[in-house]
Every structure is written in structure tokens, then in C-alpha cells.
Amino acid sequence: MGTLIYLASESPSGEGTKNVPKSDASLSVDHTYLNFFYINFCIIRGLRSNFRSVEHHLSSTKPHLLFLTETQLSEATDSGLFSVPSYFLYSHFRPKAGYCVYVRNDLTCSRAHALESSEFSTIWLRLNSHSLTKLICVVYLSPNSSDHKIGATPRIPDSLGDTPNILDLFLTSNPSVYAVTLSSPLGSSNHNLISISCPISPIPPQDPPKRRCLWRYASTSWGNLRRYYADSLWNDYCFRVRDPSLRAERITEVIVSGMEAYIPHSFSQPKPSKL
């Protein structure tokens, strides 16, 4: 058995993504899925022997992503043999390990090769979702690997009724928005199918353009600025406050007030937003 680590981070969307190739078949509209993004993953323990179960799961449940590890197929295997209508398949087959991901073809998605390393068995995907770019990764560690660097972490049972362990993990930069559901294994796999879901947020309204402060550091009165900071009441005004957030605000206030007093600066005019 291997170790699975799934990562998801979010940032403002950028360029470099594209729609995965479309198949002739299209997904039927399921209104219960319209407001959520679904990621499924499982240690499949042989894709060939369990392909019918995988195909049925994709066609009936329609997750946006399905990550599978321990596909146990040779490197020369034609991935087209395991294609599923309305999904694009990224694969990295190995005889005793291997992994793949099925990506629903209505997603704007590309493989982030620049983030992958030959030292690890990984697939990185970059997805555009409304105003965010999601980076999602699967990492597979073989049972014989000694490169386990995970200690006390949130744990998910790898099969129904088992004690939680570190075989199946989902790590994200925004855990509060994700929900975890455990389902029966696919086919003859002895590992739970794990489903991660999060709301698909509508495009948020853009903030009005703001002025930028342009600091002219070359003209700074460094001597006066040093004296200002040396004479500031750091202990009385900043560090005696118990609330860390308020303490940080007051430290920032003192630093900025000194900059405004002794570093020449100006403000740029905000540019109108492009429609």
C-alpha cells in the first residue's frame, strides 16, 4: 500500500491554462452538482481489473477530477484503452505502481509540468475556476519508500471500519471550505473512495481601483528615520498589548508613520478597470 497526498491551493487566476480536449459525448446537466466542485481519489490496486467500476463511477457520479494510484500497468500501455467519454486522461503508468487522473472535459485545465519533479511520483494540474486558479497535485509514495516526512496530520481511514492512518491524505491551503465523504471502494480495491467537495463561488465583484504609494527611497532622510524609530514608544504602545492582531497593527502604524515622515513619496492615479 502506498501513501497519497493531495494538495490544493488557490490564487487569483492567471494565464497558462486551456480547456482539455473535448470528446464527442457531453455530460448531462446535474443541477445538484452545479454549485460544488468534486475531487475523488482512491488507491485502485489495478486499473485494468477495476476499469469497469471506474468507468461506471465516472459516468454516474461525474466528479470533476478522479485521481487513481497503483494503476499497475506497464509504461507501454496505451492509455486510450482506459478512456472514458467526457473525460480526459493524464497517465503515468508503472508496472507495480503508477497513477493517473481523469479530468472532466468541461474544465479549463492544463498539466503544470514545471512543478513536477523526477524525484517524486506526482501529477500537478492547474485549473481555472471563475476568478481563481487552483493548483492540485497527487503524490504517490510506495510502501517501501523511506522518504516519509509526515508526522501528526489529519487522517482519513483507508477502508471502511479501519483506524485512520496516513495512507490517504488531503492537504489544502483553504481547509475550511472543503468537506470529506467516504464511499465504498471501486471494484476490488481495498481502499475507500474519498470525495472532496467545495462550493463553486461566483465571480466576486472587483474592488474599485486604488492609488499606489510610490516611495523614493534614494531621497530618504535615514538619520532622522533612525532617530524616529529609536524614540518611538514600542514597549508602551505596541508590545504591552496582548492581542497579537492589535500588536501587529500598532507596529505597522509606527513603521508607516516614520516612512511617511522621512521618505519622500507620491501617489499614482488609479487606472480604470478594463471591461
Q: Is 207 among the domain residues?
A: no
- Give the list of residues 6+ apart from residue 174 with CB closer than 8 angstroms, or none: 8, 9, 10
Domain boundary among 199, 231, 249: 199
What's the CATH number where 49 sits?
Answer: 3.60.10.10
74 and 161 together in one domain: yes
Site of grid cell 498539466: 111
Point out the residues of the chain with pLDDT beneath 70: 1-34, 129-131, 142-168, 201-208, 271-275
For the segment 183-203, what is each residue's pLDDT rounded down to a tens digit?
898 999 888 898 888 887 654
Residue 101 has a pLDDT of 92
Indicate the number of domains in the chain: 2
pTM for the predicted model, two decimal places: 0.60
Residue 158 has a pLDDT of 47
The rounded distance, in Å, linking the Cα atoms of 158 and 165 is 7
Residue 159 has a pLDDT of 47
For the segment 244-271, what is each residue's pLDDT rounded down to a tens digit?
889 889 999 999 999 999 999 998 877 6
The rounded distance, in Å, linking the Cα atoms of 257 and 252 is 8
Domain boundary among 199, 221, 241: 199
Q: Is 22 among the domain residues?
A: no
122 and 193 together in one domain: yes
98 and 225 together in one domain: no
* Grid cell digits, residue 88: 480526459
